[in-house]
């Protein structure tokens, strides 16, 4: 049988990086096995599901390159792919369960259930449904219904024993049935519960392998019992390890960005994020770390996913992103930078292609994320120069710097060539005339031209600014030596 896997998010928020990794593993498993990757939207929580969240999920998956074979917008023969549109399926199979004596109506109210739960906790018992509606006869049920109570439908557990499966990642996993209880399959409002809807949909969509986070392990015995009660073939299960923050707790917003969209906004490449997420639990040979998506499709094996939690290391992601940036051709790197800067409000369409390429070349190895193009290139992207107060204070403490910058400005204004070679020649010659080290003049000029101590190479900075802006900033810095604000539109 051909492999069929699914990623089934709820459209109640952003696409979390943990969810993205689950989607990635499903996608890679399907591609490696020549199978089908399905996207199913679990939107039965109408109060929390939003079109905006759905759009964010679809956009995030597309940005990562995880194109689904069946699902929203793609279509397919096993739809509909929204749980909110599959109600008749859930109720039909619920009828089968009840007819076979494997489900029964429960008239307990939420208040009654909560009161019993608190009493069980007070006695030191694990909270679980006590089964009191399981043995009701039809007359008793009719009386409860006459009181205006609306029944939920509960699954009737088979009794003592164990429910076990052979997990692709974790090996044999088992649960004693005694730790479970008669769980709800259809709520009193007519909506299916997660465990029940998941089983019905996976069966209808012919899912062969369920690949998901290990936070779902406790759901699996209930789902296996449903499969058995309905007489359906069991899929294989693979529960992948959770992702932790650097403090050892489950990854969340308190550790920084937690959504795919946030990392996109921070300037990370989809290639790098895919590569990084793949290695959070999986390894190829323990040594190789850089992969394209196409390469991962050829080598990924679920059997090489470990069971231990993986730690999200932002420094590692930044390093990996820098490596993927280096892998791009210069034209593509420039295109990515330009697109990112456009998203940040910078319109470079009026700049010649060579200027855009020169900006990226000037930033060089400092370009670890696309955001570094703004961080290190803002001096050339904005007319208003923002000067680091500490860097400015260091210059102001040296009265001789002002006249030097003024002279350098005049020399640049007179440099007819204004090339990298001529700018270096003019600057070094002036330093020699002043009897100072070239670095001393260059460090002062760097602050005057970029507002910072750390910036791309000085001569690349001058070339990117162009004669007019470079000369204006040097003259302006010199003129402000009397104590005016270092901020200026130059």
Q: What is the dihedral of CA 348, 350, 353, 357, to 10 degrees?
A: -30
* Pairing status of strand 209-213 against strand 236-240: parallel
Contacts of 458 (CB under 8 A, 6+ apart): 427, 442, 445, 446, 449
What is the number of alpha carbons within 13 Å of residue 481 lying toward its C-beta?
Answer: 19
Catalytic residue among 253, 326, 398, 437: 253
Query: DSSP assignment, residue 284?
Result: S
232/210 Cα distance (integer angstroms): 15
Helices (H), 49-109: 51-64, 87-99
310/95 Cα distance (integer angstroms): 42
Contacts of 482 (CB under 8 A, 6+ apart): none
366/373 Cα distance (integer angstroms): 9
Which two structure tokens, joined as six digits, stand for 55? 């759009």
CA distances, 358 to each of 54, 247, 351, 377 (Å): 39, 41, 11, 11
* Preceding peptide of 80 cis, ω within 30°: yes
Q: How many helices (H) and strands (E) does the chain have?
A: 19, 13
- Clarify whether 437 is annotated catalytic: no
> 3-class SS at 482?
helix
168/484 Cα distance (integer angstroms): 69
How many CB atoms neighbour CB 152 within 10 A? 22
Contacts of 251 (CB under 8 A, 6+ apart): 16, 17, 18, 242, 243, 244, 245, 258, 312
Residues taking part in catalysis = 253
């Amino acid at each position: 049988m051909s492999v069929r896997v699914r990623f089934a998010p709820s459209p109640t928020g952003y696409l979390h990086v943990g969810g993205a990794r689950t989607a990635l593993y499903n996608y890679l498993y399907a591609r490696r096995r020549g199978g089908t990757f399905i996207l199913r939207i679990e939107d039965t929580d109408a109060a929390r599901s939003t079109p905006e969240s759905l759009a964010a999920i679809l956009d995030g998956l597309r940005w990562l390159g995880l194109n689904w074979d069946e699902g929203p917008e793609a279509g397919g023969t096993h739809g509909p792919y929204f749980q909110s549109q599959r109600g008749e399926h859930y109720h039909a199979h619920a009828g089968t369960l009840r007819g076979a004596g494997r489900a029964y109506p429960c008239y307990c109210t939420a208040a009654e259930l909560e009161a019993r739960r608190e009493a069980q906790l007070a006695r030191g018992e694990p909270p679980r449904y006590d089964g009191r509606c399981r043995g009701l006869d039809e007359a008793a049920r009719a009386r409860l219904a006459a009181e205006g109570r609306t029944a939920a439908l509960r699954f009737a557990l088979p009794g003592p024993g164990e429910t076990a499966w052979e997990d692709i990642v974790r090996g044999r996993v088992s649960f004693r049935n005694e730790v479970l209880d008669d769980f709800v399959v259809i709520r009193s409002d007519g909506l299916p519960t997660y465990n029940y809807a998941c089983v019905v949909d996976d069966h209808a969509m012919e899912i062969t392998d369920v690949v998901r986070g290990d936070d779902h392990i406790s759901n699996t015995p209930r789902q296996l019992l449903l499969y058995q009660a309905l007489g359906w073939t069991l899929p294989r299960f693979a529960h992948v390890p959770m992702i932790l923050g650097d403090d050892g707790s489950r990854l969340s917003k308190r550790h920084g960005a937690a959504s795919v969209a946030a990392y996109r906004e921070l300037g990370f490449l989809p290639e790098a994020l895919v590569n990084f997420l793949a290695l959070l639990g999986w390894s190829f040979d323990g040594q190789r770390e850089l992969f394209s998506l196409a390469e991962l499709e050829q080598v990924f094996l679920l059997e090489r996913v470990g069971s231990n939690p993986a730690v999200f290391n932002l420094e590692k992601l930044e390093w990996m992103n820098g490596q993927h940036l280096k892998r791009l051709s210069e034209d593509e790197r420039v295109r990515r930078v330009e697109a990112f800067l456009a998203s940040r409000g910078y319109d470079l369409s009026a700049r010649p292609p060579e200027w855009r390429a020169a900006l990226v070349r000037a930033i060089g190895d400092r370009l670890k994320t696309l955001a570094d193009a703004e961080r290190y290139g803002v001096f050339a992207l904005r007319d208003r120069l923002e000067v680091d107060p500490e860097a400015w204070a260091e210059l102001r403490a040296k009265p001789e710097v002002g006249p030097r910058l003024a002279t350098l400005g005049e020399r640049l204004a007179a440099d007819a060539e204004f090339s990298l070679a001529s700018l270096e020649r003019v600057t070094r010659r002036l330093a020699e005339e002043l009897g100072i080290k070239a670095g001393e003049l260059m460090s002062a000029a760097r602050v005057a031209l970029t507002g910072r101590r750390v910036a791309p190479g000085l001569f690349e900075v001058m070339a990117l600014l162009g004669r007019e802006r470079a000369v204006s900033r040097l003259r302006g810095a010199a003129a402000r030596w009397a104590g005016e604000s270092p901020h200026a539109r130059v």
